[in-house]
Amino acid sequence: MIRIQDVNLIYGRHTERETQALKQINLDIQDNEIIAIVGASGCGKSTLLRLIAGLLMPTSGTVSIDDEIVAHPRQDTGIVFQAPTLVPWANILNNTLLPSSIMGRLDDQARSRATRLLTTAGLGNFLHHHPKQLSGGMQQRVAICRALVHNPKVVLMDEPFGALDALTRETMTLELLRLWYEDPKTIVFVTHSISEAVMLGHRIVVMSPRPGQISEILDVNLPRERDFSLVGTPEFTRCAAAVRELIFQHEVA
């Protein structure tokens, strides 16, 4: 379980550019839960993910995973950033295998998992291509495969589908849900898309603008097995309307 307790994050502390990005965040995320995080640009969503990833330490408060304080990146965590951040000189297969390589686990099992993930993501014919030979959306799909290659317990995704076209975005959403049914993991998913949050999230965390605070946590009472036929059902519509209202209320304020 991920536990975020009394977390505050101030960038550029004691300088003129001091920015309080997160204020008094408290959140418990259960094992194998999919949590969607939504909120206006600049409200601290990426900052929160970086804290869970151990890439940043809170100014005060704690983030723990399974009762261990997160003080550095953990091997059981995978992260997909807003931009694909691939290594330009390595081919797609080796980019995907990077976490396995860093962890000293570059074996046949890792290679076949990477190949399987890339094939599922529609990149089976591009294993030996380099990032610059791929479109932005294809590169982001490689970044998603890279985050999953070492089969982490926790996957942190920062608007992973933001650069994809609408069709690929829906396919990847279904693919992520399928991966989760086959092999459940804890997923923290940041998105600007309200319908994506409802489609994926078991709960939706709505954040208020700077300094980022949690304004509400909504339960999504849809079945765990989901597909796009749920769009337009009363529960889907209720959740989407509730999130929209919470976000809009802050914008008006």
Residues that bind ligand ATP (CB under 6 A): 11-12, 19, 21, 39, 41-47, 210
Residue 231 phi, psi dihedral angles, 5° rounding? -60, 130
| Pair 164, 140: CB distance under 8 Å | yes
Q: How far is the CB of 93 from Mg ion (least distance, A)?
A: 28
Nearer to Mg ion, 81 or 126 (CB): 81
Tell whether residue 168 is a contact of Mg ion (CB under 5 A): no
Q: Which residue has the tokens 């693919």?
A: 175
Cα–Cα distances (Å) from 7 to 31, 43, 77, in that order, read: 20, 14, 20
| Pair 31, 3: CB distance under 8 Å | no
Q: How far is the CB of 44 from ligand ATP (least distance, A)?
A: 4
Nearer to Mg ion, 137 or 212 (CB): 212
Cα 167 from Cα 27, distance rounded (Å): 33
Q: Which residue has the tokens 């600049």?
A: 42
Nearer to Mg ion, 57 or 83 (CB): 83
238 contact partners, CB below 8 Å, separation of at least 6: none
Closest CA to 220 of 204, 205, 237, 232: 204
Which among Mg ion, ligand ATP, none contacts residue 44 (Cβ within 5 to 8 A by kind)?
A: ligand ATP
Cα 180 from Cα 119, distance rounded (Å): 17
Tell whether residue 46 is a contact of Mg ion (CB under 5 A): yes
Q: How far is the CB of 243 from ligand ATP (least distance, A)?
A: 15
Tell whether residue 191 is a contact of Mg ion (CB under 5 A): no
Nearer to Mg ion, 46 or 94 (CB): 46
Nearer to ligand ATP, 45 or 146 (CB): 45
Which among ligand ATP, Mg ion, none contacts residue 113 (Cβ within 5 to 8 A by kind)?
A: none
Cα 187 from Cα 45, distance rounded (Å): 14
Q: How far is the CB of 46 from Mg ion (least distance, A)?
A: 3
| Pair 80, 145: CB distance under 8 Å | no
Nearer to ligand ATP, 46 or 91 (CB): 46
Which among ligand ATP, Mg ion, none contacts residue 42 (Cβ within 5 to 8 A by kind)?
A: ligand ATP
Q: Which residues of the shown chain bind Mg ion in the complex (CB under 5 A)?
A: 46
